[in-house]
Amino acid sequence: MSALTAGLRRALPRLTRRRAIVAAVALVLIAAAAVWAVRPERASWTSEELRLTVRSGPAGTEPVELDARFYLPRERSGKVPAVLLAHGFGGTKNSVSSDAESLADRGYAVLTWTARGFGRSGGEIHLDSPDYEVRDAQGLLDWLAARPEVRTDAAGDPRVGVVGGSYGGALALLLAGQDQRVDAIVPSITWNDLGKAFLPQSAGTDALGVFKKSWAGLFFGNGSADLLEGPRETAIGDPACGRFAADVCAAYLQMATTGLPEQATLDLLSRSSPAGVLDKIKAPTLLIQGAVDSLFPLSEADANAKGIAATGTPVRVAWFTGGHDGGVGPDSDADRVKFLTVQWLDHYLNGEGETPSDDFTWSRVAGFSALDRGLVTNGYSADAYPGLAGTRSAEVTVEGPAQPIANPPNGNPGALSSLPGLGGRLSSLLSGGVAMDVPGQFAAFTSAPLREAVDVAGSPTVRLKVASPTGEAVVFVKLYDVDQNGVATLSAGLVAPVRLTGLPANLNDAQAVTVTLPAIVRQVEAGHTLRVTVATSDQAFLTPAQPATYTVAVEPAVTLPTLVGTPIANPAIIWWYALAGVVGVILLGLLVVLLVLRRRHRRQESTVTEEYADTPLVVRGLRKAYGDGFVAVQEIGFTVRRGQVVGLLGPNGAGKTTTLRVLMGLTQPTEGEIFVFGHRLVPGAPILSRVGALVEGPGFLPHLSGYQNLKAYWQATGRPWEDARFEEALEIAGLGDSVHRKTRKYSHGMRQRLAIAQAMLGLPELLVLDEPTDGLDPPQIAEMRRVLQRYATDGRAVLVSSHLLAEVEQTCTHAVVVNKGRIVASGPVEDIVGDSPSVQLDVTDVPAATRVLAELGVRSVTPEGTSGLIVDMNGTARSELVASLVGAGIGVDRLVPRRRLEDAFLALVGDNSRGSGDR
């Protein structure tokens, strides 16, 4: 919960009636004026449909007609700078219309066009060839220079930036390297070397890379298909080539057939690669690359950044949680990317604002969204771009013997790592969470559980040995994050393809090679293990057709690049200067609504239900449904009494966060009541001054110290300084002298502790916390446990939502377990744990025992170690279980009760761990 929200909520009841009326009238007048000012009756730009003829080809004499659209801001004072906005492969000018409108709305002239060979444009596809697509774009620069509305730096030289993603991003780089009239560029999710992108080689040897058949086929299919939006104006020739130029078609067919490109193919791909012109780029460059991208991973932007920076050209890099395999970031991450783009163009094209800093920003998946039932991200910043090696490194040891692995004929069946072209959240989830290796075709090497969390940001490395009877091998190296339940996640579905030649038949004679894995951005949590897998097949790549058996070994040390940065407290604020008027209206409107609601509920607030007058929290019959029919909370009811630390538990989507949001007034319930010390909870209720909360995550000003942030927060509440009880809150939180350091220097654990201290200011009698140990290492978690236990004294109470069941068991006195929007258990933790029906078995054959138990009808069987099983009995007698195993020829070495909160939790929620979903 932000300081502003809390401040308004606590300050509002203190307004006198007279002040409230005056404020409401003033705010209504201001809001009306602001709405009139920021919401024009018509679009702030105009557009014009065009058919532009430019001349291209090796001699620059071949005409081609391009389908284009030109946008102009409606209100202009003189000439304006221009933006050339390019689309991605397979798209058209319509693909970027929304971005074009946004840029025109900011005062830029914007020219979009459909690239040759696509849509209604003529010509053939040459893959961003300098002689064709790049010369086409130079003709568009000529056209812009002749427009009377466009600012020019000299005759024939428009003030222009080039923005584009993927195919359009490479065009921006190639055009800037070929035409010095370009003043700034923002390429995103694009390539450096097209040959290396489609033939990646992760081992640093002289061997050719491994052909990325799925992505190449998808590209070729998009260009071969008839993508015209209306009646065809140019005939498609050879059906095998579609609208591809003959040399591009031949290169693809040859490479897709053999997997080993001829020199002519490599030369063609090189001509379409920015790598060859980076030293000629003088336009300041902002490179935006996605971490969910098996086509053009983060290494492509890294190579572009190094090549451009070497010439002294200003260059900046930003990463985001998206890419060709889909995006998992919410609007806040998109806002950050938009802000960086506009900031770059405003300065280098319009001369507005200070020179963009060298800060490097990135984001990573943080968890489950309560708003859209999807994944959310956290943003971070560092002083400078560190490259793919990070600012420091961590070393993890993996273990496992040398293992034989079989290469299947023609790569079939093949392992699944990514699903190119599927797009969106489905691709992200499948490629990252359901990666599958084929038994007999992979070797695995596993670490011990990590003692503390590791923030991986860059390219991990591992040393590999391979022996092959054929002298050659193609293998795929992967790094899995494996949680305590054995669920393995392949971050973004990224793998390292390796082609090796000159191999010995005996592993003892093999030389180790260093494999650089694709760069990832991921926090591996404490208690998780890392698994290095070496596989012989992958559905996304072309592998050797002949069957063979390789022997592989991995050296123990795996190097993980790490990166420490300052959290971006509120990524959505980056559009502030563009949307200040709208944000102001929203905040003012919210205040008016709160005033109105306060008056409406005044009578309800003054009524105290004596039965609950001394009880911190009572929730009765809570239900939350949305307009689309989705029900986040079916029926929730529980009580939090003085002296209790109550844990709110449940799988993702069970309704925990929705319940907390309703509790803090961040959303309204459909049905039900909440009482805080006997007062019915309504927005703006004075009783909220007795509640402290951390629900929406901490947000602090990085240039202020922790103490200054806390002081500013308390001042926003409007309450007397002496009520803050600063020293007591700080002592409980255990911040010590660190409270006087600037928060940008804080570790994640210190920021969490500061957020807890903020919620404790005034020592509220009820403390509500959502995932307070998120991202903390084991010592920090243990200290947070002591903090919460200390707080729940002197008649105070704590309600905490957490997914760390072991911590809840050690911290909380009581627990409320929620599943599918309903409570399935509540009461003292020891009572819930005591009802757990699990046992632990040690058996001689785990796979066989798993099958027998499944047939027996037990609810769940979870492997533990190499010979152990954790079994939920589901009412089955232990004697029957043992008899079934022994009767199947399986030895049972040990059977003991296993009573933990985790077992009770799994027994209560069953196999459905996803719940009904939060919003």
Per-residue pLDDT of 521-536, as tens digits, reads: 999 999 999 999 999 9
Q: How large a percentage of the chain has pLDDT more than 90?
A: 40
pLDDT tens by residue, 72-83: 999 888 999 999
pLDDT at 400: 95
Dihedral over alpha carbons 252, 255, 258, 260 (to 10 degrees): 180
pLDDT at 324: 86
CA distance linking residue 571 with residue 658, whole number of Å: 22
pLDDT tens by residue, 662-718: 877 677 788 888 888 888 877 667 777 788 887 655 667 777 788 888 888 887 777
Per-residue CA distances from 121 to 128, 171, 223 (Å): 15, 17, 13
Nearest CA-CA partner of 490 in 476, 502, 503 = 476
What is the DSSP secondary structure assignment for residue 233, as one 8-state letter?
Answer: S
Residue 230 has pLDDT above 70, yes or no: no
User: Confidence band (pLDDT; 50, 70, 90) for 821?
Assistant: confident
761-790 average pLDDT score: 79
| CB-based burial, 244-259: b 16+ in 10 Å, e otherwise | bbebbbbbbeebeeeb
Q: Where are the beta strands (DSSP E) in 519-585?
A: 520-524, 529-535, 548-562, 566-567
CA distance linking residue 568 with residue 573, whole number of Å: 10
Q: What's the CATH code, domain 389-564?
A: 2.60.120.260
User: Confidence band (pLDDT; 50, 70, 90) for 552?
Assistant: very high
| Whether the Cβ atoms of residue 299 and residue 517 lie closer than 8 Å to each other | no
Residue 637 has pLDDT above 50, yes or no: yes
pLDDT tens by residue, 452-485: 999 999 999 999 999 999 999 999 999 999 988 8
Determine the 3-state secondary structure of 516 from DSSP: strand
pLDDT at 451: 92
| Whether the Cβ atoms of residue 400 and residue 445 lie closer than 8 Å to each other | yes
Per-residue CA distances from 728 to 177, 600, 733, 753 (Å): 62, 37, 9, 14
229-242 average pLDDT score: 56
CA distance linking residue 565 with residue 746, whole number of Å: 9
pLDDT at 337: 87
**Concatenated DSSP letters for 29-73?**
HHHHHHHHHHS-SS-SEEEEEEEEEEEETTTT-EEEEEEEEEEEE
Nearest CA-CA partner of 224 in 85, 149, 118 = 118
Angle at 869 (CA atoms; ends 867, 870), nearest 5 degrees: 155
pLDDT at 24: 41
Q: Pick the more confident residue, 231 or 72.
A: 72
CA distance linking residue 907 with residue 117, whole number of Å: 59
Residue 575 has pLDDT above 50, yes or no: no
User: Confidence band (pLDDT; 50, 70, 90) for 569?
Assistant: low
Q: Pick the more confident residue, 500 or 583.
A: 500
pLDDT at 903: 62
CA distance linking residue 726 with residue 723, whole number of Å: 8
The segment with the largest mean pLDDT, out of 356-370, 589-603, 633-647, is 633-647
User: Confidence band (pLDDT; 50, 70, 90) for 567?
Assistant: confident
CA distance linking residue 281 with residue 308, whole number of Å: 7
Angle at 294 (CA atoms; ends 288, 295), nearest 5 degrees: 70
Residue 227 has pLDDT above 50, yes or no: no
pLDDT tens by residue, 124-149: 999 999 999 999 999 999 999 999 99
Which amino acid, 586?
I
Residue entry with tokens 């300065």 = 347
Determine the 3-state secondary structure of 487 from DSSP: coil
Structure tokens at 210: 């491994």
752-764 average pLDDT score: 84
pLDDT at 346: 94
Helix, strand and coil percent figures for the chain, each rounded to 5: 35, 30, 35
Average pLDDT, the chain: 81
Q: Pick the more confident residue, 860 or 591.
A: 860
Residue 9 has pLDDT above 70, yes or no: no
CA distance linking residue 695 with residue 269, whole number of Å: 51
Angle at 577 (CA atoms; ends 571, 581), nearest 5 degrees: 110
Q: Specify the CATH superfamily of domain 837-898.
A: ACT domain (3.30.70.260)
User: Confidence band (pLDDT; 50, 70, 90) for 598?
Assistant: low
CATH 3.40.50.300 fits 605-832, yes or no: yes
Architecture of domain 45-385: 3-Layer(aba) Sandwich (3.40)
Q: Pick the more confident residue, 744 or 556.
A: 556
User: Confidence band (pLDDT; 50, 70, 90) for 825?
Assistant: confident
Dihedral over alpha carbons 522, 526, 528, 531 (to 10 degrees): 60
Nearest CA-CA partner of 282 in 309, 316, 318, 317 = 309
Residue 50 has pLDDT above 70, yes or no: yes
pLDDT at 369: 41
Q: How large a percentage of the chain has pLDDT more than 70?
A: 80
| Whether the Cβ atoms of residue 1 and residue 694 lie closer than 8 Å to each other | yes
Helices 748-760 and 706-717: angle between axes, nearest 10 degrees? 30
pLDDT tens by residue, 437-452: 889 999 999 999 999 9
Q: Pick the more confident residue, 618 or 867.
A: 618
pLDDT at 90: 87
Structure tokens at 152: 């020019």
Determine the 3-state secondary structure of 616 from DSSP: coil
19: left (phi over 0), alpha (psi -120 to 50) or beta: alpha
pLDDT at 15: 35
Q: Where are the alpha helices (DSSP H) in 734-816?
A: 748-760, 778-791, 805-811
Residue 331 has pLDDT above 60, yes or no: no
pLDDT tens by residue, 153-204: 999 999 999 999 999 999 999 999 999 999 999 999 999 999 999 999 999 8
User: Confidence band (pLDDT; 50, 70, 90) for 20?
Assistant: very low
Q: Pick the more confident residue, 679 or 238.
A: 679
Determine the 3-state secondary structure of 716 from DSSP: helix
CA distance linking residue 679 with residue 599, whole number of Å: 16
User: Confidence band (pLDDT; 50, 70, 90) for 423?
Assistant: very low
350-368 average pLDDT score: 81
User: Confidence band (pLDDT; 50, 70, 90) for 39?
Assistant: very low
